[in-house]
Every structure is written in structure tokens, then in C-alpha cells.
Amino acid sequence: MSELTPMMKQYLSFKEQHPDKIIFFQVGDFYEIFFEDAVVAARAMDVVLTTRDSNKENPIPLAGVPIHAADTYLNKLLHQGFKVALCEQVEEATTGGGLVRREITQILTPGTVTDPEMLEESRNNYLAAISALPGGAGEYYGLAAVDVSTGDFRINEWSGEEAAPALADELLRLQPAECIYNSPAAAERFRPYLEPQGTPGTVFDFSADPEQVKEALTRQWGEELWEKLSLSRFPAAATAAAVALGYLKMLQHPAREKHFRNLELSSTGDRMPVDGITARNLELTQTIREGKRKGSLLGLLDHCHTAMGRRLLRRWVEQPLTEQQLIEERLEAVDELRQNPLTRGELRAGLQQLIDLERFCSRLCSGRVNARDLVGLKETLENLEPLTRLLESCRAPLLQSLRQLPDFDALIGRIAGVLVDDPPLQLREGGLIREGCDEEVDRLRSITRDGRSWLLDFEKKERERTGIKSLRVGYNRNFGYYIEVTRPNLALVPPEYHRRQTLVNAERFITGPLKEMEEQITGAREQLVRREYELFEALREEVAAAVPLLQAAAVRLARLDCLQSFAEAAERYRYCRPRFSPGGQIRIKRGRHPVVEQSSGERFVPNDLQMDDHASILIITGPNMAGKSTYIRSAALICLMAQIGSFVPADEAELPVLDRIFARVGASDDLSRGLSTFMVEMQETASILKEATPRSLLVLDEIGRGTSTYDGMSIARSVLEYISRRIKAKTLFSTHYHELTNLKDELPGVKNYTMAVREQGQEIIFLRRVVPGRSDKSYGINVARLAGLPLEVLLRAEAILAELETAAAQAPERQLSLLPLVSEQPREDGRTGKLLDELKDLDLNRITPLEALQHLYRLQQMLFQGDEAEEELPD
Ligand code: ADP
Ligand code: MG
């Protein structure tokens, strides 16, 4: 180590202070990264790893990126969850080669970026702060979700038994870019939920002294808000907010102070909490397979024309309303916009012109907007007036209230008065300020302008005086103004010319008067640039003072955008306006699955659905691929869409206001996760049985299939019994256990439906129609035929099936319908296992049909010959 240069020692001292960050160490025009960090970062940024002092014995690994292109590389690192500290030179490099002073000027983390280039515009970029506080009845958990790029700041708190899973669920929904924990214990508890998604987490040790928490929050938002939200009653939520503020302060984040909107305490009162599993199974915001927005409900409903709208729409989809009045308000607005395609079209065109006001505000507050951005803001504000005028004739109360935007005329006037129409990107090269705005600027400009005409005049006079026709006056950065004379004319140069520079074909000179003018011009220029920048800064401050108004406008515009988006979707896809009935029944006429109907190649067949007290549990059977999952999910989606204020894919829909919607899928559909899938399936089912109420809708898709038939069917059945007797939630249950259809006669409110199919010879045709009754065949082989299994395999399968069916008929007491199975459970014993093993070992490609029959016979014997036969199986 003693051999290290002073600069490397300097680097290491910074690294010591920031061990968890990659240090971008400025060396001239480059950021350099050393040692192990270089190795890691080079790979992550996809740049070449080189070395420093490569002729020494232990060369130091080095990765470097040019500063002017640093954004791209920073982007890559942040996206992969790294944190970066920019360590920059804060003084000019001295010619003596001494060590330059450097400082950490900015810390970038995935959850705190504000640069639009690093952000996805259609979704919030959340920093999540989690606090765990000890309490009487278990722990309290608090969550603060902060989007620094928009100023969103919301908090929430959970306690009791379900607190940790509820918070975990919220994290799954938010998909934060970064997480901080108030204690190592909190980190240990929640890291497992975030790490698989690659979300980086940090423990930010924070003393949870309630007084300090209160002080931090009141400093940010004032005492009033603390009282209004009764934050003393939510210590964990408040602590989480304080942790987030403390963390941002530690990062020296410039956006911290000014632009956070009012803290919002999420109360679950008027919102339906949609758990992460339901959201996933219904593909609300992303598809299961590819995790894409396209193909999800959100992707379908999103006809927004602003980024603000797009982000809000996601929150609407994730948090349906539970108050009928709020829902009707939205529906009323959507209805009106849908019926007025002209207004809607103009509204859409107007919205398209707007900049992302939310993110603009955050950049504004951190001093990161230039003159062009301010002009962009002005144009956006100018566009608001015509937009609100469009809404004048609208009657829907919500549209009327959204019309009330703050008055920005004064602000528009200020920006227009100060800045030119098309200012340059650079702020320190002048050309920003409008003529006539500032006397000083005008005066300095005229000096430079007069200087220019003086120069032209001077050039002309010198040509005449010396007789050198090609003489010209020029300027360059290093030497200033000069008179250039080409080589052949050098003899004519008068004695008062002083040589400045020699070129190949010419010499450059300076004279006393020219020098004087140069000083005047450059002096004026420098002053001008400085003055212009000052005026710009003042304007920027002035605009920043209007941030709360701008944010208020942004919120309304986002809502308006979401409403027009719903109207557009309703029109495009021919949706109907749902009605709500107090009776609690669901009556859907010709309902469709919103996504499948748009994406599937075949024509979508609509289906009705009727659920009420006499039909509260529907059991839907039918062959694979018949459309069971699609049917029951469309019911859930229609209910959910209605409660976010959207029209729904049906001809008519009369719905209850649900308190929860749950969607669960049997395990074998879901092999993507690590846990034992059956275990997951059961955990998921357990959570429903705890939380569902009579006002909930349950969509259970082949629950119980993650285990053996008997187990699975027993669980499915007892779950249904429990729902029927205790929970009384409306339930759609698809299953391939046909035996479950017998429940119809045993439990009140159970009805059987099946997916109609038509047999045509050996083919089956899916009619996609839901009809009363049960299917008694599973048509597995027919489906296998559709899938193109080799003929030989199909034929054997048919033979085997026929045998099995005869066997079943001969031993009716084995029929699964004779549940309860409690007494039969021990059958899940060695015998079944052996039987299954034998079945598995059968290589159907190598045996003849006759041999297959013999095998079948043997297996049958094993099953039916009772316990004593088990010992003496025929060979
Ligand atoms: P199941 O759950 O019974 O196996 P799915 O619901 O997965 O069947 O449906 C299988 C496929 O059938 C779907 O991917 C979809 O393309 C198509 N499908 C389902 N329902 C309909 C319908 N009502 N109209 C047209 N196509 C449908
Ligand atoms: Mg299915």
C-alpha cells in the first residue's frame, strides 16, 4: 500500500467513507473506477477493464468512462441496482501537478434518480422505506413510498398478525427501485421479498425516538399536517417517512426540501386492497409469462396521452374503489366523454401537447432545468386554457371539478417576458434573455453589436490603408481578435502591426486599437453571459415557487387523462356502463374477457353470468382448453374494471360493490417460483379463507390440483364447504374433479356449469359456451389429439382409458363421489405409490398393445385385490 500514489490514497479515503457505492472518480475528462469496483463495474457497464501503472508489479484494475457520456453508463449501473458516488475535482488542476482537491458531489441510487433519461415514464420510481417497531401485539410495520421524480410521498402502517405479509404484498405491488430499512431486523424480514427482484436494500440506522420523528416530519410538512393525519397514532408509518427523509438528506439529494407534495397516509377505507397474487393471476399490470405491460389489463385500458396519466392509471388499476359514489362519479365522466367523440378527440390532442409536469417539478426543484425546459413549461401552461374550455360544456361533476386549474397567466407572462422563444440548451453562453426585458442586458448586447460593426469598419479601413486586399479580421478562442495577412502580402504590413501567431500560409497580427476593442467586447460578453444567467436563475426560482400549483394541476390533468382513456377504451372495445345493485347479485349479460377477446385469433364467444344467494358458488367443469379459466377470470375482471370506474366488456352488467377480489390458480400452472408449488397454493388459499367476507368475490381456478387426486379433491371440497358455510363469499370454482359437482345436492347455493363441447367423431369442438350442468368426460385424449400427439400414443391411451373405465364401473365403491374420504386417506400408502411407480416405468413406446393390457390387468389387481393381495402380486 505504501507505494500508492497520493491520488490513489485520496480515492481510497473516499471509498472508505462509501464502501457500498461505486466511486466515479474524476480524472480530467474521465470518471475512473479502481480496484475490485473496476472489475465489477466494467462488467456491468460493458466497458473494457484496463489497468493503471501497468508496468508496475501489481497494476491496479481500472475502468474509465468519458464524462460527457457518463449518463449512459450510470444508467446501466443504477438499473442493475448499484449505487454510485460522483467524486469530482473541485479546483482547477495546477500546472505543478500537485494533488487536486476532490469532493463527493452527488450520490446516485436507483430509488432516487430524477433524470428523465434514467426513468421509465409510465411508472413511478419508488424508494421504499420500511420501519419495524416493537409493539404490544407483535410488531408494527411502516412503509413510506417516495417517488423523488414526481414528489409523491405516501405512507402506510400495519400491525397484528397479518402485518408482515400485508406489507410484503404492498412491496410486490410497488416494485420499488430501492429499499431502506430502519433496522437490521426489518431488513432480514423483508429482504427475501425484494432480493429476488434485484431490488437493492440498505439498512439506514435510525433512532426511532418519536420526538425526532415528529420533528423531521413537521419540518418538512408543518405541524398542521401532522395533526390532520393524526400521525401520532401511526408511529411506524411516521418513522418510515422520517427514515426516507433522513436517507435523502444523507444523499444530499437536492430535491428533498421543496417539492414533496403533501404526505399521504394511505387509508384502506375507500380503496380495495388487491393482493399481489390476485393482481398477478388476473394479469392486471403485467402478463404472467413475460412480465410485460402489453397484454395486461393496464396495457389494454391505457389510452393515456400523458406520462402523468399513465402513472396514475396504474394506481387506479391496482386500487379499485369501494365507495359506490366515487365509482359513479368516474363512470359518469367516462360516459360523457364516451358520448362526445369530438370533445374527446380534442382533449386527447390537447393532452398530447403537455410535458410531464410532475417530473418537471422535481427537476425544477433540484435546479436541473434549462431555459428550453422553462419555455416548454410555458407552452404546456398555454395549452391548459383551451383544454379546460373544452370541458366547459360537460355536465359530469368530476369533469367540472377537473376544469378548475390554477391560473397560470402571470407565470406564462413572466416566462414569455424573460426568455426568448427558442433559447439554447447551454445556460452560460448567453442568448437566453428577451430583448427589452432588462436594460443591462440590452446595453451589453449593443456594445457587442457595435463592436462587431466597428470591426467590419476597421477591416475595411485597414485594407484600404495597407492595400492588402485579402486582409481580414478574425477571432479565435486562444488568441482573441487578429488581423490575418497571407504570406505573399507580408511585405505590405505596416510597422505598428505586432505579430501574434504564425501559420503555414499566413501571419496574424494585432494593433493597439484592435486590442482595445477586443477588451471592450469580451468584457461586455462576459458580463452579458453572467447577467443573463442571473436573470434566468431568478426566473427559475420564481417558477419554483409555483410548484405546488403546478403539482395541483398535474394531479387534475392526470385524472382527466385517465378518464378520457377509459372513455376511449369503452368506445373502441364496445364496453357497457356497469350498474350497481344493493342486493349483491352479479348479473352479466354476454360478458367477455377484455384481454383474450382482443388477442385471441378466434372469435370471442360471450357468456352470461348470474350469481345471487341461490347461486353463490358456481362449479365449472369442462375439458382442458375449453375456456374455464377465461370465463371465471372475465367475471373477476369485469367486477374489478367496474370498480376502477371503467366501462366493462359485456352487453349489460349489474354488479355489487365488492370489498375484495381474490384470484387463485392451482399450482401446476405456476412452476416459475421456487417454493414447493403445492405449498404456495395452500398458503395462498389460506390467506383467502382468512380475509374474504360475504362481499368478496373468489375466483379459484383448479385449486387442489397441485397434489395427488385424493388429497387435491379433499382439499378442494373442504375449501368449498368452508366458503359455503362460513365465509359466504361469491365463488367461481373451476375444476377437473368432476366429482365435486355432487356438492350441488349437499350445499345450498352451489350450481354446476360446464363448457359446452361438441363431439364430431373423435374430434371435439369447443363451443366456448357456458351451460348449466356438469361434464362427465374430460376429453383429455381428444385434447391430446388436438395437440398433435402421435396416433400410436392416442390409440394406446384410448385403450387404457377404456379399461380403467370398466374397472371403475365394476368397483363403484371406489368412486370419488363417495366422499368424505377421511377413512380412505390411508390409501395414499405404499400400494398407490408402487402402482404409480409401475405406471411411470411403463415404456409405452416399447410394448405391444397386448403387453399393455397385461400390465393394466396387473395394476388393476394391485388396486382392487385388497390388502392381503398386495403381498403376493402375480408376476
Ligand atoms: P381451460 O381453463 O378450460 O383449460 P382456458 O380458459 O385456458 O381453458 O381457454 C383456452 C383458450 O381458449 C384460451 O386461451 C382462449 O384463446 C380460448 N377461449 C377461451 N374462452 C373463449 C371464448 N369465450 N371465446 C373464444 N375463445 C376462448
Ligand atoms: Mg384453465
Ligand 1 pocket member 629 (CB < 6 A): yes
| All residues at 6 or more sequence positions from 24 whose CB lies less than 8 Å from its CB, including other chains | 31, 32, 33, 65, 70, 74, 84, 85, 86, 87
pLDDT at 653: 98
Q: Name which of 554, 122, 84, 150 is nearest 365 in CA terms.
A: 150
Ligand 1 pocket member 630 (CB < 6 A): yes
Termini Cα distance of the chain? 78
Q: What spacing in Å lies between the alpha carbon of 629 and ligand 2's midpoint?
A: 4
Q: What spacing in Å lies between the alpha carbon of 112 and ligand 1's midpoint?
A: 43
Ligand found nearest the CA of 620:
1
pLDDT at 368: 81
pLDDT at 821: 32
Structural contact between residues 213 and 259, judged by C-beta atoms closer than 8 angstroms: no
Tell me which residue has its CA closest to atom 13 in ligand 1.
627
Q: What is the pLDDT of residues 118-175, one digit of tens each?
A: 788 888 899 999 998 887 656 789 999 999 888 889 999 888 777 888 888 888 888 8
Tell me which residue has its CA closest to atom 17 in ligand 1.
627
Query: Diameter of the chain by CA atoms?
Result: 130
Q: Output Rg (C-alpha) for the chain, integer angstroms.
A: 36
For 52, other C-beta atoms within 10 Å of its C-beta total 18
Ligand found nearest the CA of 628:
1
H helices present in 701-848, as ranges: 709-722, 780-786, 791-810, 830-841
Phi, psi of 768 (to 5 degrees): 65, 15
Ligand 1 pocket member 359 (CB < 6 A): no
Q: Which helix (H) or strand (E) segment is 266 a member of? A: none
- The whole-angstrom separation of Cα 875 and Cα 861 is 11
Atom of ligand 1 nearest to the CA of 593: 23
pLDDT band at 10 (very low <50, low <70, confident <90, very high): very high
Q: What spacing in Å lies between the alpha carbon of 754 and ligand 2's midpoint?
A: 13
Structural contact between residues 658 and 643, judged by C-beta atoms closer than 8 angstroms: yes
pLDDT band at 21 (very low <50, low <70, confident <90, very high): very high
- The whole-angstrom separation of Cα 652 and Cα 650 is 5
Ligand 1 pocket member 348 (CB < 6 A): no
In the predicted model, is pLDDT for residue 218 greater than 60?
yes
Residue 415 grid cell? 416566462
Structural contact between residues 201 and 194, judged by C-beta atoms closer than 8 angstroms: yes
Atom of ligand 1 nearest to the CA of 624: 4
Tell me which residue has its CA closest to atom 16 in ligand 1.
600
Percentages (nearest 5) of helix, strand, coil residues in the chain:
50, 20, 35
Q: Is the peptide bond before 826 cis (omega within 30 degrees of 0)?
A: no
Ligand 1 pocket member 604 (CB < 6 A): yes
Q: What is the pLDDT of residues 309-354, one digit of tens each?
A: 999 999 999 999 999 999 999 999 999 999 999 999 999 999 999 9
| All residues at 6 or more sequence positions from 648 whose CB lies less than 8 Å from its CB, including other chains | 575, 576, 577, 578, 591, 594, 638, 641, 642
Q: What spacing in Å lies between the alpha carbon of 625 and ligand 2's midpoint?
A: 7
Q: What is the DSSP letter of 268?
A: S
Ligand 1 pocket member 627 (CB < 6 A): yes
- The whole-angstrom separation of Cα 349 and Cα 583 is 42
Atom of ligand 1 nearest to the CA of 755: 3
Q: At CA 782, angle to CA 780 and CA 787, rounded to 5?
A: 95
Q: Name which of 119, 88, 114 is nearest 101 in CA terms.
A: 88
Tell me which residue has its CA closest to atom 10 in ligand 1.
625
Ligand found nearest the CA of 778:
1
For a ligand 1 pocket test, name from 630, 631, 699 the mutation site with the most ligand atoms within 8 angstroms of its C-beta.
630
Q: What spacing in Å lies between the alpha carbon of 235 and ligand 2's midpoint?
A: 45
pTM, whole model, 2 decimals?
0.78
Least confident range of 449-453, 506-510, 676-680, 717-721: 676-680
In the predicted model, is pLDDT for residue 503 greater than 80?
yes
Q: What spacing in Å lies between the alpha carbon of 269 and ligand 2's midpoint?
A: 33
Q: Name which of 693, 692, 740 is nearest 715 in CA terms.
A: 740
Ligand 1 pocket member 770 (CB < 6 A): no
Q: What is the pLDDT of residues 735-789, one digit of tens each?
A: 888 888 999 999 999 999 999 988 887 778 889 999 999 877 767 777 777 777 7
The SS3 call for residue 126 is coil
pLDDT band at 367 (very low <50, low <70, confident <90, very high): confident
Ligand found nearest the CA of 780:
1
Count how many Cα atoms sit within 13 Å of the Cα of residue 718 in the half-sphere of its side chain.
12
For 457, other C-beta atoms within 10 Å of its C-beta total 10
Higher pLDDT, 819 or 692: 692
Tell me which residue has its CA closest to atom 18 in ligand 1.
627
The SS3 call for residue 265 is strand
Tell me which residue has its CA closest to atom 25 in ligand 1.
604
Least confident range of 189-203, 274-288, 334-348, 462-476: 189-203
Q: What spacing in Å lies between the alpha carbon of 12 and ligand 2's midpoint?
A: 58
Q: What spacing in Å lies between the alpha carbon of 303 and ligand 1's midpoint?
A: 26
Atom of ligand 1 nearest to the CA of 603: 25
Higher pLDDT, 583 or 789: 583
In the predicted model, is pLDDT for residue 259 greater than 80?
no
Structural contact between residues 95 and 85, judged by C-beta atoms closer than 8 angstroms: no
Q: What spacing in Å lies between the alpha carbon of 585 and ligand 1's midpoint?
A: 25
The SS3 call for residue 731 is strand
- The whole-angstrom separation of Cα 132 and Cα 19 is 25
| All residues at 6 or more sequence positions from 672 whose CB lies less than 8 Å from its CB, including other chains | none
- The whole-angstrom separation of Cα 520 and Cα 343 is 58
Structural contact between residues 746 and 823, judged by C-beta atoms closer than 8 angstroms: no
Atom of ligand 1 nearest to the CA of 623: 3
Structural contact between residues 375 and 422, judged by C-beta atoms closer than 8 angstroms: yes
Q: What is the pLDDT of residues 633-670, one digit of tens each?
A: 999 999 999 999 999 999 999 999 999 999 998 765 44
Question: For the purposes of burial, counting CB atoms within 10 Å of the CB of 41, is it exposed (0-12), middle (13-18) or buried (19 or more)?
Answer: buried
Look at the block and give the residue holding cell 410548484: 547
Ligand 1 pocket member 602 (CB < 6 A): yes
Ligand 1 pocket member 596 (CB < 6 A): yes
Residue 345 grid cell? 378527440
Ligand 1 pocket member 172 (CB < 6 A): no
| All residues at 6 or more sequence positions from 555 whose CB lies less than 8 Å from its CB, including other chains | none
pLDDT band at 819 (very low <50, low <70, confident <90, very high): very low
Q: Which helix (H) or strand (E) segment is 277 a member of? A: helix 276-281
Residue 173 grid cell? 405491488
Q: What spacing in Å lies between the alpha carbon of 633 and ligand 1's midpoint?
A: 11
Ligand found nearest the CA of 756:
1
For a ligand 1 pocket test, name from 596, 598, 669, 779 the mutation site with the most ligand atoms within 8 angstroms of its C-beta.
596
Residue 3 grid cell? 507505494
Structural contact between residues 662 and 685, judged by C-beta atoms closer than 8 angstroms: no
Q: What spacing in Å lies between the alpha carbon of 672 and ligand 2's midpoint?
A: 17
Transcribe 621-667 into DSSP letters: E--TTSSHHHHHHHHHHHHHHHHTT--BSSSEEEE---SEEEEEE-G
Ligand 1 pocket member 605 (CB < 6 A): yes
Higher pLDDT, 691 or 610: 610
Q: What spacing in Å lies between the alpha carbon of 755 and ligand 1's midpoint?
A: 10
Q: Rounded mean pLDDT of 796-812?
A: 75
